[in-house]
Chains A and B, each alone.
Chain A
Amino acid sequence: MNSLNKSSIRYLLKHPWQFGLSVLGIAMGVAIVVSIDIASYSSSKAFNLSLDAVAGKATHQITGNSDGIPDSFYRSLRKDKGIRNIAPVIESYVSIQDSGRRVFKLLGVDFFAERPFRDYFSETDSSAGDVFNKLFTKPNSIILSGENMKKLNLSPGDSVKVLINGKEKYLYIAGFIKENDNNRSALENLFITDIASAQELTEKKNNIDYIDVIINNESEEKIINSLLPDGFALQKSGSRSQTAEQMLDAFNINLTSLSLLALIVGLFLIYNTMTFSVIQRRILIGTLRSIGVTSGEISRLILKESLIIGIAGTIAGFAAAYFISKYLLIIISRTINDLYYVVSVREIYISPFIIIKGISLGVIATLLSALKPAKEASGVHPRSAMIRSEQESSIIKKIPRMTIAGILFIIAGAVTLIIPSKNIWLSYFGILPVITGFSLLTPLVIIIVEKIFSPVYKKLFGITGKMSSRSILQNISRTYIAIAALSLAVAATVGVGTMVSSFRSTVIDWLETRLNADVFISAPSLISRRNDAVLNEEILDKIKAIEEVKDYNFYREVEIFQDGKRYHLLASGLSKRSYKGFKFKEGNPEDAWKSFEEGEIFVSEPFAYRNDLSVGSKLVLKTDKGMREFRVAGVYYDYASDQGLITIQYRHFKEYWNAKGYSGISVFVKDDKAIGTVKDRIQSLDTGGQQLVVRTYKFLRDSSVEIFDRTFLVANVLQILSVIVAFIGILSSLMSLQLERKRELGILRANGLLPSQLFLMVNLQTLLMGLIAGLTALPLGNILAAILIYIINKRSFGWTMQFEILPGILAEALLLSLAAALLAGIYPAYKMSKTSPANALREE
């Protein structure tokens, strides 16, 4: 190692606080980004594995109508048309009632047609013949993996109570499948049963969900396509997982970008550290330049140092990510289960892309953030480097230019943000110049605040107070970076906090308008946001017959897979009194309802945004009677689904779709006092084993808000982590700043300043720095919130939200800023007050 590098490494080691905190800052940034990636990837990998497990070697799938495919059609394909490489499938979810409600996928298959599709069925134990015998003869028999059997504490011959489509059923364990490396992940989450048992368990009678197909060439595809009736489709096997991934796109992008925010704070920290280390070493760099070290060599030296920090931070970040991702995985998979689809994630998966991305962010981004300090170092003039005051005065001289540049950056960000586009990344890209612009305005704010506070501090704390405030200005080249970093982190908390609160208020307002009935009835569902289980139609008749019931609504939700997209269609049997629950973004309500009753459709705001629809647009939908065109009569505000909803009147729905039953029913009670009675009566109805979830308005509202809060839990976690990163940043800056002032403070001590006065002086200074950071964070935070609400959320999900500035959040942010600065200042203040003045003077 050459002497320059040695000197550089020893510099890092001689400043362990600065070095360690920078590594920690980068590690936190990398850990947050990587753990979010791991958690998202693991959820989607688990979901895809479960799809792959079910799809087996199938290349295509035949899907049918809203109520599935009649098994007679399958038989005719196989027997009459001679198509052999097909297998019928029924898919459902069961939750184990007495084992932590673990969810398994129930796969109903025809074991005789299975061999070409899912070969792990040959791996039953030695008494395979007996197992198959039981599967065919004993109703509701299943096989599962040996590992799952052990986990559930079951043995062949046992029964297990499960909830399936809202009804309690017993499954009989016919046997188990031995795992091997090929089938382990496929079997992880699977119960397999015979197709007849599956029909009985899911009450699909003579229907199946879809038919798996192996197609070897185009002509086979053409033949099958020609045999499909209206409303049936042949689609590639992977299309379902693609649709699922598309659903999560916006969700994942927003998670990633929130995590990137933490990384930006981390990068600010690196920038901060490297700038500090350059400033601290100006004399040294000047000497090196004088003895013939070129500016390029100096700049490479600084970049090498940042590379060391970046590599160390990245390694530590990956280690931390492993632990953080386990926690995030629980939160994220719960949100996916709440909002999108059923997924059970038990393992952590890491892709090479996550590793490359983590390394790139940690190392390359660190290098990028060190570019400017490296350039500054290379520009250090061999002689002027030795005059410290020149450097402070040069910053002061630069303030007008920095202010103008800051304003220009903010304008550039604003221009990027208002470019009409649906690209979420472009929007996030627009945030960067806004943040940079605000950071460049920080020195100006410091001057203004210092001018105001200097006399106040002097009056309150005497000359010590004046020195505290004055020293922020005197060391502005360092203090402004620390203040800007803290300000950014606090602004991020204000931005995300205000966005979440604004969104929450919007959703609560919407829930209060929309949920205008008194009691809500549905079947137990595995996805909180929509009802995947169906109530039979007789239940509504029984509810209508309850004396206290004044009026009722009902709806049926179906999923339509069409052109690689998944649409949610809501068939509403709405009573007129519920019409007022719909607020229209587009369309005159009176005309809209009239057209709706005549068979036109409503679309929710996110659906209209995603599909570029407005009132009068035409939408072609795959119905059970073939493709049909519907006119959009209105676009309504809706926050139930970021994928968007299509609403059609139930009467017209029945004209085109065969789906039976209701996804939900709500009733209006004649007298408010009778709500409890009606709820009890519904619960005591004879439903033929169908379990009902009966909720009052208040309960449903509260549980919806609870789901909302759960969804944003991850945002809150990320927010806290960002503040920790910022805290590390300010601690690092203050440590360096105070340690660098050792001699100055030593002189003060030598002149009779008491350790307690020194402690007070340092803390007064950091407190003022916290105040400046907090004051700059408030406008920036609100601008960030406005960008998140009006641009990012709009582009990600298509939602309109009301923006509200919450004094509570602003006060919290200011307190956070003050507390972070004060806390970060305590240790350096303590250390300085304890240092002997003789040492402080000598060490210089």
Chain B
Amino acid sequence: MVELKKVSRSFTEGNTKHAVLKNFDLKIEKGEIIILLGKSGSGKSTLLNIISGIDIPDEGEVTIAGKDITKLSEKDRTLVRRNKIGFIFQFFNLIPTLTVRENLQLPLELTNSDNQEERINTILSEVGLPERADSYPDKLSGGEQQRIAVARALIHNPDIILADEPTGNLDYETGLQIVDLLDRVVKQKGKTMIMVTHSKDVMGLADRVYSLREGKLTETKKDSVIE
């Protein structure tokens, strides 16, 4: 489903070049849930950006559903992202000028999906917020906003979900609700998910856990992290 081969990415700051990702490979099968751990600045978000086509590596191949997206134009990479990927952000990033229903409608419109109303109602029920359909994001609590963000990432039925610290901006209880939600709506639907997180509570979802350190990816035992 997702395959990275010999991927390297570095950034220049002043005269110094920082290698964030160094020549690494990663293969994720359909339906797998991968968790990425690492310190701030270790390159976790860069890796998500590269997988989503937001950023391109200096070297290497990134294959999504059989296509090397590094060879695609910026527009085509965006279309891959639009159709194949759902994004969940730490700071929710709902569109403040759209109601909850309209926020959910946006990915459906972008992908020209059918039965939009029905799908919105279904997913709102799934995330437990059918009554907030006509509210604007600023009227929702942080947890509610993130549930809508999860719904938005899933509504157009993408194959891959990329989640960047989805519980990082929530309190413990609310974070657990989001983990539970991800378990129900992502894992059980057989979606591939790559999640960057520091939260140990999410580890239960993972098929594999990786640590990113000094540009290298190393697989970590799930149990050792939870303990």
Q: Which residues of A contact B (CB under 8 A)?
A: 2-4, 6-8, 10-11, 14, 283-284, 286-296, 381-383, 386, 843
Contact = CB atoms under 8 A, between A and B. Distances in A.
Contact of B98 (A3, A294, A383): A3
Residue among A8, A296, A383 having the largest count of chain B Cβ atoms under 10 Å: A383
B95 interface: yes
Given A3-B105, A6-B102, A290-B89, A383 B54 contact: yes
B79 interface: yes
Contacts of B103: 3
B217 interface: no
B95 A383 contact: no
Contact of B107 (A283, A291, A382, A386): A291
A150 B74 CA distance: 75
Interface string B85-112: 1110101011111100011011101110
A3 B102 CA distance: 6
Contacts of B91: 386
Contacts of B49: 382-383
B93 A283 contact: yes
A10 B98 contact: yes
Contacts of B96: 284
A285 B81 CA distance: 15
Contacts of A11: 97
Given A4-B106, A7-B95, A289-B54, 9 more contacts: A10-B98, A284-B93, A287-B95, A290-B52, A292-B81, A292-B85, A294-B78, A295-B74, A383-B54
A2 B110 CA distance: 9
Closest 9 CB pairs of A and B: A292-B82, A10-B97, A287-B93, A3-B106, A382-B54, A7-B97, A294-B78, A292-B81, A3-B102
Nearest to B136: A10
A360 B74 CA distance: 33
Contact of A296 (B75, B95, B110): B75
The residue in A10, A295, A843 that gathers the most chain B C-beta atoms within 10 A of its C-beta is A10
24 contacts: A3-B95, A3-B102, A3-B105, A3-B109, A6-B97, A287-B89, A289-B54, A289-B78, A290-B52, A290-B87, A291-B86, A291-B87, A291-B107, A291-B110, A292-B82, A292-B107, A293-B78, A294-B78, A294-B79, A294-B82, A296-B75, A381-B54, A383-B55, A843-B138
Contacts of A291: 81-82, 86-87, 106-107, 110, 152-153
Interface in B36-70: 45, 49, 52, 54-55
Nearest to A286: B93
Contact of B95 (A284, A294, A295): A284
Contacts of B107: 291-292
A447 B178 CA distance: 47
Contacts of A296: 75
B64 to A, nearest CB: 13
Contacts of A2: 109
A283 to B, nearest CB: 7
A137 to B, nearest CB: 83
Given A7-B95, A284-B96, A295 B75 contact: yes
Contacts of A7: 95, 97-98, 102, 106
Interface of B: 45, 49, 52, 54-55, 74-75, 78-79, 81-83, 85-87, 89, 91, 93-98, 102-103, 105-107, 109-111, 138, 152-153
B109 to A, nearest CB: 5
A388 to B, nearest CB: 13
A291 B150 CA distance: 12
Given A3-B98, A10-B98, A293 B110 contact: yes
Nearest to B80: A292
Contacts of B75: 294-296
Contacts of A8: 97
Nearest to A284: B95
A296 B106 CA distance: 16
A634 to B, nearest CB: 69
A283 B81 CA distance: 18
A14 B97 contact: yes
A291 B78 CA distance: 8
Contacts of A14: 97
Contacts of B94: 287
B98 A6 contact: yes
Nearest to B93: A287
B124 to A, nearest CB: 15
Nearest to A382: B54
Contacts of B153: 291
A645 B111 CA distance: 73
A650 to B, nearest CB: 79
Contact of A293 (B52, B54, B82, B85): B82
Nearest to A843: B138
A295 B85 CA distance: 17
Nearest to B153: A291
Given A3-B102, A383-B45, A383-B54, A292 B95 contact: no
A638 B4 CA distance: 81
Contacts of A843: 138
Nearest to A8: B97
Contacts of B111: 292
A83 B138 CA distance: 89
B46 to A, nearest CB: 9
A8 B98 CA distance: 9
B115 to A, nearest CB: 16
A381 B49 CA distance: 11
Nearest to B104: A3
A703 to B, nearest CB: 62
Nearest to B46: A383
Contact of B110 (A283, A292, A381, A383): A292
A284 B95 CA distance: 7
Nearest to B156: A292
A451 B86 CA distance: 47
A1 to B, nearest CB: 10
B48 to A, nearest CB: 9
Nearest to B52: A290
Contacts of A381: 54
Contacts of B45: 383
Nearest to A293: B110
A225 B103 CA distance: 82
A386 B90 CA distance: 12
A283 B111 CA distance: 22
Contacts of A386: 91
A301 to B, nearest CB: 12
A4 B138 CA distance: 18
Residue of A7, A11, A295, A843 with highest tally of chain B CB at under 10 A: A7
B100 to A, nearest CB: 12
A790 B45 CA distance: 59
Contacts of B52: 290
Contacts of A294: 75, 78-79, 82
B78 A292 contact: yes
Contacts of B97: 6-8, 10-11, 14
A284 B94 CA distance: 8
A296 B54 CA distance: 15
A324 B49 CA distance: 55
B93 A4 contact: no
A286 B45 CA distance: 14
Contacts of A4: 106, 109
A295 B77 CA distance: 11
Nearest to B45: A383
Nearest to B110: A292
A292 B83 contact: yes
Nearest to A5: B109
